[in-house]
Structure 1
């Protein structure tokens, strides 16, 4: 592959550029914002409210803030900021856990459930189209490669520390 200047790019450069392009693609919801400009949620918010959609005030199986942080691979302040934004927009509420006052239980409002339903359906339609164009085998291979890359990177980071 050659760059804009006509010089051949190294495999390292191509890998890094590809990772950044994929990150941008993922952060834009795989093009959802381009298709449906009236999206009420960005992709990270969609994944957050989907994760907490089964939370109830009386359940011991609720997904907590630390679970969301781990799933989304974002910082705790980033999760708190998203929760505040979603709460202000009326999509969720935060309540103190009556059994453990140090815990906060995050649940969806009726509006949040409606928005989740519509946005998740649109997103899943988009993902199914992507999978059908790529093919199941390529998607499975991509998942395997990404997981291996994460594992290798974590191992290398552990060796350096």
Structure 2
């Protein structure tokens, strides 16, 4: 009788596998890699949240939970495409920060709008009640996996 509570294991595994096969997070946007879009959005949202025009590579790294060398590669790509510029701290020249150019801010805003539209469509598809339930369930799933990985986020 106790094993009956696990009769949904295969269905749950299949549901998660469907998402990995969709590659919905891996589509390019505006000719940029998804990782570059995430960095653009992170810098843009950081500006809106903190009021600062810049974020350091380590700040972006912490926000995205990715190593600094990985972020540096993405930032270098954004710099070479004219979407960001590197600035030096006026008090400590060893600290450099990243600031989006006007074009970078526009692309970040367009990407945010496109992503929001995708999720608005999901809300339209599911309805408000199921969307709220999905948010609650996904938050619980996230907490479960963070606990499982020993990486609980208490911020």
Query: Structure 2-normalised TM-score?
Result: 0.68
1:111 to 103, 112, 122: 103
1:89 Cα deviation from its structure 2 partner: 1.0
SS of 1:52's partner is helix
Structure 2: unaligned runs, 5 residues or longer? 1-6, 151-155
Q: Is the 8 A contact 1:86 1:92 kept in 2?
A: yes
Unaligned runs of 5+ residues in structure 1 are 1-9
The answer on 1:86 being equivalent to 2:78 is: yes
Counterparts in 2 of 1:2-17, with a 5 A limit?
A: 11-17=8-14
CA displacement 1:56-78 (0-9 Å, x = unmatched): xxx76843333322333333232
> Of 25, 28, 33, which aligns to 1:27?
25
CA-CA distance at 1:107 after TM superposition:
0.3
Q: Does 1:124 align with 2:116?
A: yes
When residues 132 and 153 of structure 1 are mapped into structure 2, their CA distance, relative to the original with a 3 A threshold, is same
SS at match of 2:55: coil
RMSD, aligned CA: 2.9
Q: Number of residue pairs matched?
A: 139
